[in-house]
Amino acid sequence: MVHKINLKYGCNPNQNHANITIDNTLLPFNIINGNPGYINLMDALNSWQLVKELKIATGLPAATSFKHVSPAGAAVGLPLNDILKKIYFVEDLDLSPVACAYARARGADRMSSFGDWIAISDIVDLPTAVLIKRSVSDGIIAPGYTEEALKLLLKKKNGQFNIIEMSWDYIPKSIERKDIYGITFEQQRNNLEITPELLNNPVTDNKTLSDEARIDMLIAMITLKYTQSNSVCFALYGQIIGVGAGQQSRIHCTRLAASKADNWFLRQHPKVLNLKFKEGISSPDKDNAINQFLLDELTDAEMNHWQNLFIEQPTRLSLTEKKEWLSNLKGVTLGSDAFIPFRDNIDRAVQSGVKYVVQAGGSKKDDDVIQACNEYDMTMLFTECRLFHH
Domain 275-316 falls under CATH 1.10.287: yes
**How far apart are alpha carbons 192 and 217 in whole angstroms?**
15
In tens, the pLDDT along 330-340 reads 999 999 999 99
Task: Decide: residue 154, CB within 10 A, 0-12 exposed, 13-18 middle, 19+ buried.
Answer: middle
Which residues fall within 8 angstroms of residue 31, CB to CB, at 6 or more apart? 5, 162, 163, 164
User: What's the half-sphere exposure (Cβ side, CA atoms, 13 Å) at 37?
Assistant: 13
* Contact (Cβ atoms closer than 8 angstroms) between residue 122 and residue 98: yes
What average pLDDT does the chain have?
94
Which residues fall within 8 angstroms of residue 85, CB to CB, at 6 or more apart? 91, 95, 103
- DSSP secondary structure string for all residues of 79-130: PP-HHHHHHTT-TT----HHHHHHHHHHHTTTTTTTTEEEEESS-B-HHHHH
Name the active-site residue from 230, 260, 345, 355: 230
pLDDT at 2: 55
Interval 39-59 mean pLDDT? 96
Instruction: Tell me, yes or no, if 67 is annotated catalytic.
Output: yes
The CATH number of the structural domain formed by 2-166 is 3.40.140.20
pLDDT at 312: 82
DSSP assigned state of 320: H
The proportion of the chain whose per-residue pLDDT surpasses 70, expressed as a percent, equals 99
pLDDT at 315: 84
Res 345 pLDDT > 90: yes
Most distant pair of Cα atoms in the chain: their distance: 65
The proportion of the chain whose per-residue pLDDT surpasses 90, expressed as a percent, equals 85
**How far apart are alpha carbons 152 and 135 in whole angstroms?**
13
Interval 240-267 mean pLDDT? 96
SS3 10: coil
**How far apart are alpha carbons 117 and 297 in whole angstroms?**
31
**How far apart are alpha carbons 101 and 62 in whole angstroms?**
6
Task: Provide the pLDDT confidence category of residue 292 given band limits of 50, 70 and 90.
Answer: confident
**How far apart are alpha carbons 26 and 4 in whole angstroms?**
9
In tens, the pLDDT along 104-126 reads 999 999 989 999 999 999 999 99
Task: Provide the pLDDT confidence category of residue 302 given band limits of 50, 70 and 90.
Answer: confident
Angle at the Cα of 211 from the Cα atoms of 208 and 217, rounded to 5 degrees? 85
Residue 43 — φ and ψ, nearest 5°? -60, -45
Residues of CATH 3.40.140.20 domain(s) within the chain? 2-166, 190-266+326-382
Task: Provide the pLDDT confidence category of residue 77 given band limits of 50, 70 and 90.
Answer: very high
pLDDT at 241: 97
Name the active-site residue from 68, 86, 133, 286: 68
Instruction: Tell me, yes or no, if 323 is annotated catalytic.
Output: no
Residues of CATH 1.10.287 domain(s) within the chain? 275-316
Which residues fall within 8 angstroms of residue 14, CB to CB, at 6 or more apart? none
In tens, the pLDDT along 154-202 reads 999 999 999 999 999 999 999 999 999 999 999 999 999 999 999 999 9
Task: Provide the pLDDT confidence category of residue 311 given band limits of 50, 70 and 90.
Answer: confident
**How far apart are alpha carbons 52 and 13 in whole angstroms?**
31
Name the active-site residue from 52, 55, 67, 225: 67
Consecutive H or E run containing 73: strand 70-76
Interval 311-339 mean pLDDT? 93
Higher pLDDT, 241 or 312: 241
CA dihedral in degrees (86, 89, 92, 98; nearest 10)?
-100
The CATH number of the structural domain formed by 190-266+326-382 is 3.40.140.20
Res 1 pLDDT > 70: no
Name the active-site residue from 17, 276, 364, 390: 390
pLDDT at 230: 92
